[in-house]
Structure 1
Amino acid sequence: MNSPSGGTHTPYPDEALDWLLPAGSPRVLDLGAGTGRLTRRLHERGLDVTAVDPSAAMLAALRRTLPGVTTHQGVPEHLPLPDGCVDTVLVAGGWQWDDPGRAWAEIARVLSPGGRLGLIRTVRDERTDWVSRLGEILGGAPHPEPHMGPPFSRAERASFPWEQRLTPGDLISLVGSRSHMILLPADERAAVLAQVRQLIATHPALLGRDRYTLPYVTACTRADAAAPLAGTPLA
């Protein structure tokens, strides 16, 4: 089990990225990049990475920490990129789209022939009581299994459990850096953080401790485009 040290962002496990990425130095599109958590990991590997997200505020935050990364504002159904410009598209937890058929076609369009699509879903392992309570505080929708549409029909799946060691301050920073938290009104954001501080101060598993272990599971799905698709017209 991979056990990264503490910090204020979620590190995607090396084992998961090794499994998702094709050999060599692929050009990678981080689709739905948010504030750049996955983008940062790809950039650290020396890869040519482009970040696309619908939120200008998210991309502004990404550019502050990764000024050398190319960014574009866009949605999966209308990617502001030319045909065949990347070898891999990675989507971390944001594949619930308004028009899935068009999104699959757009992803296929920007991929090089035989390019790869990878979906990543990192979730807290809420079998631990205090982690379950943290999930109740943070809320959010359930995490459905990804379903790939044509031409990505032959998908493979793998899961990678790992842990993150956190101080109380790390946990507060981690919660505060979540994309939906950044977009909350200030009073709502403060209320959520207050509940997390209350959890730290009262839960028997956390009370009086200076470090915790936060368990995760990173579930991955990958598939290669079945045939050259650059220039394929959209329906």
Structure 2
Amino acid sequence: MDHDEQLLRASSFGVAAAAYAEHRPDYAQAAVRWALEPAPGPRVLDIGAGTGKLTATLVALGAEVIAVEPDQAMLTELRRSLPAVRALPGSAEAIPLPDASVDAVLAGNAMHWFDMAVAGPEIARVLAPGGILAGLWNLMDDQVEWVAGLVRVGGTAAIGPRDTPTSWRAATAGMHLPKTGVGPRFGSPEQTEFPHGQRRTADSLVATIATRAGMLVMPEQEREATLGRIRGFLTGRPETGRGEFTVPMVTGVLRVRRL
């Protein structure tokens, strides 16, 4: 993906903010606990917070959360659903917080959009010494046969390079972390996965997939054709064609400590 395409996809979510808030999954609490486990304190920045999916899990776990999000439509949804959370406009490359003001920086399905050459030093700036940077990704479990079939039918625009555990392990390990030799140093990365799931129907899973960046930037006719193929696949499968079902997922976590 070239730089212009990356920017287009990264900025595409605002047009679907309400649908994103309604249909995207939350994060496995065990995964969030693991991400925070080595943090020296309770102050957490959710960067690229979107509509607050990860923010809500952090609040439920008792963290002191500040959410930062660059897209105004997404930020509006976050403030509507979590009015008690301090939610600020900003980005990983320009964080509106003082130096050493948080104990952990977490990003839910967002770290791959960061320009880490700029964001790495900026994240290090706001992290207290010993603080944690962690990215979390919700992944559809393609070891399950019908999910693997859905991946084939949907194509990479619908089920992208970080949307299944197999592709996430290959695409993500170390790739999106701050580079060594740029500003404060980070330790060795750790990576693991936690079981997760989301209750869906065929229609609501189609609606979820429609909020993926690859779908949002697709020409309308092509997008409708792709979603139609996915809907036909889901309604024709015994696992997904009869009311509600659980989408088998894992939450993948990549974490690193600021030295």
Any stretches of 5+ residues in structure 2 without a counterpart?
Answer: 1-21, 163-167
1:104 aligns to 2:138 (yes or no): no
SS in 2 for 1:96: helix
The reply on whether 1:35 has 2:51 as its aligned counterpart is yes
2:186 to 135, 147, 152: 152
When normalised by structure 2's length, the TM-score is 0.71
Is structure 2 residue 255 aligned with structure 1 residue 222?
Answer: yes
| Equivalent residue, structure 1, for 2:77 | 61
Give the 3 Å change call, closer, same or farther, for CA 98–221 of structure 1 in structure 2. Answer: closer
Consecutive unaligned residues in structure 1, runs of 5 or more: 1-6, 227-235
Q: Any residues of structure 2 matched to 1:80-159 within 5 Å, and which?
A: 80-97=96-113, 99-135=115-151, 136-137=153-154, 138-142=158-162, 143=168, 144-147=171-174, 148=177, 149-150=179-180, 151-159=185-193
Corresponding pairs, count:
218
User: C-alpha deviations, 1:146-204, integer Å up to 9, x for none?
Assistant: 4233322322222112333434454345445x363896699567665544432332234
After TM superposition, the structure 1 = structure 2 runs for residues 140-219 of structure 1, keeping only pairs within 5 Å, are: 140-142=160-162, 143=168, 144-147=171-174, 148=177, 149-150=179-180, 151-168=185-202, 170-175=204-209, 178=211, 180=213, 187=220, 193-207=227-241, 209-219=242-252
Aligned-residue identity in percent:
37
- For the residue of structure 2 that corresponds to 1:67, the secondary structure is coil
**2:249 match: secondary structure:** strand
Report the structure, 1 or 2, having the larger helix content. Answer: 2
In 2 relative to 1, CA 54–159 (structure 1 residues): closer, same or farther, beyond 3 Å? same
Q: Which has the higher contact order (CA 8 A, sep 6+)?
A: 1
SS of match in other structure, 1:81: coil
- RMSD between aligned residues: 2.9
Under a length normalisation based on structure 1, what TM-score does the superposition of the two structures give?
A: 0.78
